[in-house]
Amino acid sequence: MKLDLKKLKLRKVNETLQSIDPKKNNKNYTILNPEGNHAICVGLTDDIDITVKGHVGYYCGGMNQNANITIEGNAGTGVAENMMSGKIHVKGNASQSAGATAHGGFLIIDGDASSRCGISMKGIDIVVKGSVGHMSAFMAQSGNLIVCGNAGEALGDSLYETDIYIRGKVKSLGADCIEKKMDNKHLKKLEKLLKKAKLEKLKTKDFKRYGSARKLYNFKIDNVSSY
Amino acid sequence: MKKDKKTLPRQSWTFDEYTNSEIRRAAATGIYDIRGGGSKRRLPHFDDLLFLGASISRYPLEGYREKCSTNVTLGTRYAKKPLELEIPITIAGMSFGALSGSAKEALGRGASTAGTSTTTGDGGMTSEERGQSKHLVYQLLPSRYGMNPNDLRKADAIEVVIGQGAKPGGGGMLLGQKISDRVAEMRTLPKGVDQRSACRHPDWTGPDDLKIKILELREITKWNVPIFVKIAGSRPYYDTALAIKAGADVVVLDGMQGGTAATQEVFIENVGQPTLGCIRPAVDALQDLDMHRKVQLIISGGVRNGADVAKALALGADAVSIGSAAMIAIGDNDPKWEKDYNKLGTTAGAYDDWHEGNDPAGISTQDPKLMKRLDPIKAGKKLSNYLKVMTLEAQTLARSCGKNSLHNLEPEDLCALTIEAAAMARVPLAGTTWIPGINNK
Q: Does A116 touch chain B (CB under 8 A)?
A: yes
**A141 in B contact zone (CB under 8 Å):** yes
Nearby residues of A15 by Cβ (< 8 Å), 6 or more positions away = B222
**Residue B187's pLDDT is what?**
81
User: What radius of gyration do chain A's Cα atoms show?
Assistant: 18
**Residue B31 maps to a domain:** no
Residue A227, pLDDT score? 60
Q: Do B147 and A18 touch (CB under 8 A)?
A: no
ipTM: 0.96
Sign of the torsion angle spanned by Cα atoms B383, B389, B393, B398: positive
Distance between CA atoms of B152 and B296, rounded to whole angstroms?
21
Q: Do A218 and B198 touch (CB under 8 A)?
A: no
Q: According to the 3-state scheme, what is the secondary structure of A86-118?
A: CEEEECCCECCCCCCCCCCCEEEECCCECCCCC
**Inter-chain touch B220–A158, beta carbons under 8 Å:** no
Q: What is the pLDDT of residue B440?
A: 67
- Using alpha carbons, select from A175, A176, A168 the residue that is nearest to residue A152: A168
pLDDT tens figures, B296-315 = 999 999 999 999 999 999 99
pTM: 0.95
Q: How far apart are CA B121 and CA B161, in angstroms?
A: 9
Q: Average pLDDT for residues A68-92, to the nearest whole number?
A: 98
**Does the beta carbon of B184 lie under 8 angstroms from any beta carbon of chain A?**
no
- If one counts the domains in chain B, the total is 1
pLDDT value at position A83? 98
pLDDT greater than 70 at residue B441: no
Say which of B143, B153, B194 has its CB closest to residue A217: B194
Please give the share of chain A, as a percent, with pLDDT higher than 90: 91
For the stretch A150-188, pLDDT in tens is 999 999 999 999 999 999 999 999 999 999 999 999 999
Q: Distance of CA B325 to CAs A196, B55, B309, B349, B382, Å?
A: 53, 33, 12, 12, 12
Q: How far is CA B51 from the centre of its chain?
A: 23
Mean pLDDT, rounded, for B209-220: 98
Give chain B positions within 8 Å (CB) of A41: none
Pick the more confident residue, B348 or B95. B348
When pLDDT is averaged across residues B148-153 and rounded to a whole number, the result is 96
B194 → chain A, closest CA residue = A218
Q: Is the pLDDT of residue B430 over 70?
A: yes
B309 belongs to a structural domain: yes
Residue B192's pLDDT is 81
Q: What is the DSSP letter of A30?
A: E
Q: Which of A51, A57, A116 is nearest to A88 (CA)?
A: A51
Cβ B220–A78 below 8 Å, yes or no?
no
Q: What is the pLDDT of residues A30-50, one digit of tens each?
A: 999 999 999 999 999 999 999
* B61 pLDDT above the threshold of 70: yes
Nearest by CB to residue A120, choosing from B143, B219, B223, is B143
pLDDT, position B197 = 83
Segments forming the whole domain that contains residue B389: 48-331+374-425
How high is the pLDDT of residue A224? 66
* pLDDT recorded at residue B5: 83
Task: Report the C-alpha gap between B64 and B164 in whole angstroms.
Answer: 37
Q: How far apart are CA B36 and CA B176, in angstroms?
A: 16
Name chain A contacts of B149, Cβ cutoff 8 Å. 43, 45, 63, 65, 82, 84
Interface contact A158, partner B, CB < 8 A: yes
C-alpha distances out from residue B245 to B234, B251, B292, Å: 18, 11, 13
Would you say B400 and B54 are in contact if contact means Cβ atoms under 8 Å apart? yes
Label residue B270 exposed, middle or buried (CB < 10 Å: 0-12, 13-18, 19+).
exposed
Q: Is B199 on the interface with A (CB under 8 A)?
A: no
Q: Give the pLDDT of residue B128.
A: 83
Cβ atoms B224, B79 nearer than 8 A: yes
Cβ–Cβ contact B222 with A under 8 A: yes
Chain mean position to CA B156: 19
Indicate if the pLDDT at residue B183 is higher than 90.
no
d(CA B237, CA B277): 11
Judge whether B2 lies within some domain: no
Per CATH, the number for A2-226 is 2.160.20.60
Tell me if A217 and B175 make a contact (CB, 8 A cut-off).
no
Q: Is B434 helix (H, G, I), strand (E, B) or coil?
A: coil
Average of per-residue pLDDT across B306-326 = 98
Confidence of residue B171 (pLDDT cuts 50, 70, 90): confident
Write the residue in B144, B175, B220 that is nearest to A43 by C-beta. Answer: B220
In a domain? residue B351:
no
Average pLDDT, chain A: 95
Per-residue pLDDT at B168 exceeds 90: yes
- Whether the predicted pLDDT of A225 surpasses 70: no
Interface A–B counts its CB contacts (< 8 A) at: 107
Between CA B89 and CA B92 the distance in angstroms is 9
pLDDT bucket at B77, cuts 50 / 70 / 90: very high
Which residues contact residue B297 at a Cβ distance below 8 angstroms, ignoring those fewer than 6 apart? B240, B250, B251, B253, B279, B282, B283, B286, B316, B317, B318, B319
Read off the pLDDT of each residue in A108-118 and give the average, rounded to a whole number. 98
For CA atoms A209, A210, A214, A217, the dihedral sign is: negative
Distance CA B363, CA B428 (A): 41
For the segment B79-118, what is each residue's pLDDT rounded down to a tens digit? 999 999 999 999 999 988 889 999 999 999 999 999 999 9
Is the pLDDT score of B1 beyond 70? no
Distance from CA of A36 to the nearest CA of B (A): 12
pLDDT(B403) > 80 = yes
The SS3 assignment for B69 reads strand
Average pLDDT of every residue of chain B: 94
Give the closest residue to B216 by CA, choosing from A161, A64, A110.
A64
Residue B97 falls inside a structural domain: yes
In contact, B379 and B361? CB cutoff 8 Å: no
The CATH code of the domain that includes B316 is: 3.20.20.70
Nearest to B377 by CA among B94, B110, B72: B110
Q: Name the more confident of A136 and B178.
A: A136
Q: What is the pLDDT of residue B198?
A: 87
pLDDT on residue B63: 81
Rounding to the nearest 10 degrees, give the CA dihedral for residues A49, A53, A54, A56.
-30
Q: What is the pLDDT of residue A147?
A: 98
Element (H, E) at B339: helix B338-343
Are the C-beta atoms of A178 and A159 separated by less than 8 Å? no
Asked, for residue B10, whether it belongs to a domain, the answer is no
Of all residues in chain B, what percent carry a pLDDT higher than 70?
A: 99
